[in-house]
Amino acid sequence: MSVKMKFLNLTALLLTIPFSLVWSRDLVPDDKHAVLNVTYTNNDDVPHARKKLTFVGQNQPKNKIVVKTNSEGETALLLPKGDRYTILCETLTGPFECGETPYVSMAASTGGITVVFDDTRVELKGITFMENSAEFDRSSMKILDATIEGLKLNPRAKVEIEGHASMEGDERDDQVLSAERAYSVRKYMVEHGIAEGRVTATGYGSSQPKADNSTAAGRRANRRVEIRVLNPDEVEVSEE
C-alpha cells in the first residue's frame, strides 16, 4: 500500500453526505460543517474515477460519510466540525485505511486534500505472528476475515500474498520465514472459502524493504504481509 496526503488551504475544513458528482461550489459551510474537496489518484497521478471513499469520525464514529469520485477522481463533502476523520479506500479485497484528515476545527470553512493510494496492493496491518513463527494469533482474524469478505465480493480477482522480512537474521532464514508466513495466510483464506486457484503466496525475505532497516521502527515496518491483485484490469470493485 502506498498512501500520501497533501493538505491545501487548511484555514478551514468540512460534513458530508453521499455526494458523488459535486465540488465545493455546490456545498456551503456553516456553523457545524466544513467543506472538504478531495482529489483521489494512484501513485502515477492517474485519477481514481468513480471510486468510493468513506470518512469515519475518530471521536464520533457514527459520523460515517460515504462519497464517490467523479470521472476526474474528485469529490466534495461536508464534514461535521470538531473531529478528525479516518479515510477508508475501497479495494478489490475490501476497504482499507488509507489516511486521515486534519482536525476539523470549529473555525474551519473550506479545505482540500489529495489522497494517493495504490488500490491493487495493500498491507494487511493487524496480522501478528508469534516470534520466529508462521502462526498468527487470534487478533489477526479481523483483518483476514475482512479481506476474505472483500475477495468473495469480487470473485474474479486473483491475488498474491507477499511475505516480507527485516534484515535482522540470516538472509536465507528471513526468506524461509517470510514464505511460511505468506503460505499461512493463504492457507487460512483457502480454508475459509477462497478457491486455491485465486490466491498464491510468495516469500520475499528482506529484498523489498519499505523503511530503514537501521532503526527499530523501520525493521518493524519491514516485517509485513501484503496482498497484491494480479489482474486489476479484469475486475471492478463490487460493493455490498
With bands split at pLDDT 50, 70 and 90, how would you rate the model's confidence at 237? Answer: low
Radius of gyration, CA atoms only, the chain: 19
Output the pTM of the full model: 0.72
- Give the mean model confidence (pLDDT) for residues 64-71: 94
Long-range contacts of 219-224 (CB under 8 A, 24+ apart): 219/166, 219/167, 219/168, 220/166, 222/164, 222/165, 222/166, 222/167, 223/164, 223/165, 223/166, 224/123, 224/124, 224/125, 224/164
Confidence at residue 78, expressed as pLDDT on a 0 to 100 scale: 95
Q: pLDDT at position 19, please?
A: 35
What mean pLDDT is reported for the chain?
85
72-82 pLDDT, tens digit each: 999 999 999 99
What spatial distance separates the first Cα and last Cα of the chain, rounded to whole Å?
23
Residues 8-13 have a mean pLDDT of 35
Do 88 and 134 belong to one domain? no
Question: For the segment 147-177, what is each residue's pLDDT rounded down to a tens digit?
Answer: 999 899 889 999 999 999 888 778 888 899 9
Are both 162 and 187 inside the same structural domain? yes
Is 178 a member of any domain? yes
Residue 59 counted as domain residue? yes
- Is 77 inside any structural domain? yes
Q: What is the per-residue pLDDT across 103-150, written as a single tens digit (0 to 9) for each?
A: 999 999 999 999 999 888 888 988 988 888 899 888 899 999 989 998
Alpha-carbon span 110 to 11, nearest angstrom: 7
pLDDT value of residue 30: 93
Are residues 157 and 76 located together in one domain of the fold?
no
| Residue 240: inside a domain | no
Residue 131 phi/psi, 5° resolution?
-60, 130
Q: Are residues 157 and 203 in the same domain?
A: yes
* Residue 188 belongs to domain spanning: 121-234
**Do residues 8 and 58 both lie within one domain?**
yes
Please identify which residue in the block is written with the cell numbers 470538531. Answer: 82
Cβ density class 30-41: b for 16+ within 10 Å, e for less: eeebbbbbbbbb
Structural domains of the chain, count? 2
